[in-house]
Structure 1
Amino acid sequence: MRNINLGLVALSAILWGIAGGLGGYLMDKGWDPLIISFYRGGVGLVCLLVWFLFRPTRLNKPLILWAIVAGIGVAGNFVFYFISIAESSVAVAATLMYTAPIFVLLISFIFRLEKPSIFKFIAIAFVIVGIVLLTEVYSIDSDQVTTLGLAAGLGAGLAYALFIFGFKYASQHGEPQGILLIAFLTFTFIMLFVVDLKETVSIIYSSDVWWMVLLGVFGAGLSFFLYVVGLKRTPPTSASIIAMVEPVTASLFGFLILSQQLNIVQMSGMAIILLTVTVLSVKQN
């Protein structure tokens, strides 16, 4: 049973990585990152609604409030992630988003939820070095990652950290299917104010509509369900290590399907970030 649960967590991370690649593929076909984000979350909402209807749970005010916070995090994460892909590459965007535990750590310091330590500051320093190498911000001639791509990637990580906090505190008041339903309802409500509705509707009549549906199922609906179910009986340490599958999968998709490549320096930066965040997560858990 333990191996099955580990497999579910790993599969969800793989699906998230594939979703990033699908987003890059759709952007190459001319679709706006905001539209892609909307469909990822909108289709995911439909999937999560089905889960909620089969396993209804009681909603209460604290759960709803924290789930709304989580939903704001989802909106920021999806939007910034796809903007970062458009301005850099799938591998760079996925790795920058993976800095979320560092933002969780910094927020915990600010609100005194956790005590600083030399180890934690060293981990933050290593991640900063990794980001510099990955994005090559020191090189004037580098055009692989724009300033917007870097900012959006880190914004995706910060938004992911907000989702983590919202989901964590909402979980103290109810079941995950109710939390995720409210979170994705919040996401959909926010996105209706930022997307081009005419272009959004035009997707329905496009040949790419099935790619959008697949993106939503892989990137939100099925993946979140598998992750939550698998996480119930998976040690947090194991889940932290398995989560590294997501940026690796996204990078492979970008390399094999989208012909996006990283040089040796960038791959070194990627390795530093992933290893440092994983070690930090394991030690924290």
Structure 2
Amino acid sequence: MTPPKLSFILLAITSAICMGTIGTLARFAALPAEHITFYRLFLGALCLLVYMLASSKRSQILHKPGKRTLINGAMLAGFMFFYIQAMNYTSMANAVMLIYLAPLVSAVFAHFIFKERLAFANVLIIAIALLGFAMMMQFSVANSGNKKEILGLFYGVLSLLTYSAFMLINRKPDKSTPYQSTLVQLVTGALCLLPLMLASRPEISANQALWLLAIGIIPGFIAILCAVKALRNLPAVTFGTLAYVEPVAVVCFAWFLFAETLNLLQLTGCTLIILAGIAQGVLMQRAGSKAGPGVTLTDKASSPSA
């Protein structure tokens, strides 16, 4: 098998780092989660539309989207909104590590919904990931001992569940191209959040508007475009492994910019979650290879960065 080109590996890493900037940019924007998520989706869709118009993809814009694509747009809005809400109440590290439990949680749901039996190795990996998150929490539901931390974890769990649903819906192949499904999901997600955004209309300063623009361009457009291009050329396990640059980036941003430090126990927990996620990706890739051809790009998009 031909090894993946360095340029596609760099695209996957760029996508992961850009995705990891959302927490930092959201804190600088200092606006409600519904506004941040709306502009991330809306401006991301606008940038993608301009890109498709300016490239050979313009013929793909007008099409009839499938029901699952529309539902996934709502799930996309949900997990992004709850993820930002979680970071408003708990640490960025806690929020991102909860999101990265989604591939493992979706495997458990698939065991019951799609009858995809979990092997002993899968169960062991899930147990390791849960141990890792318990270490992140320092074996306490809310290590800070206040309601704010518990609320943050609650929103984090909601982001985990909505992203798991997003992944499960994506299990079946879709007729639309990656650009088509991405555009529809971004627009659908923005429309889902529009009523919430209109219900609360805080005054947006020029400085905040610039942060919103950065949110729409960096984690909203550049991250997704790089992910789509990388997914076209990288094996699923390679892309899934590189996607774990995102939680590392989030922890680094939180450390350097907001002084959110982690102790040795929490760092060990982060490492266990990341290794468990990578191992789960390897097992899924092997299972897919044994099942034969027919894996689509949506099947590959099994990490939060996608």
Query: TM-score under structure 2 normalisation?
Result: 0.83
The aligned residue for residue 88 of structure 2 is 86
Poorly superposed stretches of 4+, deviation over 3 Å:
58-61, 165-169
Cα distance, 1:284 vs. partner?
1.2
2:34 aligned with 1:25, yes or no?
no
Contact 2:110 2:168 (C-alpha < 8 Å) held by counterparts: no
Q: Deviations over 1:86-138 (max 9, x none)?
A: 11111221111111101220221121251121111111211221222212352
Contact 2:11 2:227 (C-alpha < 8 Å) held by counterparts: yes
Question: Which residues in structure 2 correspond to 1:238-257 (within 5 Å)?
Answer: 238-257=238-257
Cα distance, 1:255 vs. partner?
0.7
The aligned residue for residue 230 of structure 1 is 230
Cα distance, 1:260 vs. partner?
1.3
Give distance in 1, aligned partners of 2:186 and 2:275: 31
The aligned residue for residue 140 of structure 2 is 138
Q: Tell me which of 99, 107, 110 is aligned to 1:97.
A: 99
Q: Deviations over 1:165-224 (max 9, x none)?
A: 44453x530211111111111111110122245526x32x43211111111111121111
Change in Cα spacing, 1:85 to 1:198, as seen in structure 2 (3 Å) is: closer
Moved more, 52-61 or 177-186: 52-61
Change in Cα spacing, 1:137 to 1:172, as seen in structure 2 (3 Å) is: same
Cα distance, 1:66 vs. partner?
1.6
What code does the residue aligned with 2:206 have? S
Cα distance, 1:163 vs. partner?
2.6
| CA-based RMSD | 2.2
Give distance in 2, aligned partners of 1:161 and 1:48: 25
What code does the residue aligned with 1:24 have? R
Question: Which residues in structure 2 correspond to 1:115-264 (within 5 Å)?
Answer: 115-136=117-138, 138=140, 142-143=144-145, 146-169=149-172, 172-197=174-199, 199=201, 202-203=203-204, 205-264=205-264
Cα distance, 1:9 vs. partner?
0.8
What code does the residue aligned with 1:151 have? F
Change in Cα spacing, 1:152 to 1:137, as seen in structure 2 (3 Å) is: farther
Task: State the identity as a percent.
Answer: 24
Unmatched segments (≥5 aa) in structure 1: none
The aligned residue for residue 45 of structure 1 is 45
Equivalent residues, number: 278
What code does the residue aligned with 2:10 have? G
Change in Cα spacing, 1:181 to 1:166, as seen in structure 2 (3 Å) is: farther
2:18 aligned with 1:15, yes or no?
yes
Unmatched segments (≥5 aa) in structure 2: 286-306
Give distance in 1, aligned partners of 2:143 and 2:20: 29
Query: TM-score under structure 1 normalisation?
Result: 0.89
Give distance in 2, aligned partners of 1:139 and 1:179: 38
Paired residue secondary structure (2:66):
helix
What code does the residue aligned with 1:234 have? L
Change in Cα spacing, 1:19 to 1:90, as seen in structure 2 (3 Å) is: same
Contact 1:38 1:191 (C-alpha < 8 Å) held by counterparts: yes
Cα distance, 1:22 vs. partner?
1.4
The aligned residue for residue 266 of structure 1 is 266
Change in Cα spacing, 1:46 to 1:140, as seen in structure 2 (3 Å) is: closer
Change in Cα spacing, 1:88 to 1:141, as seen in structure 2 (3 Å) is: closer
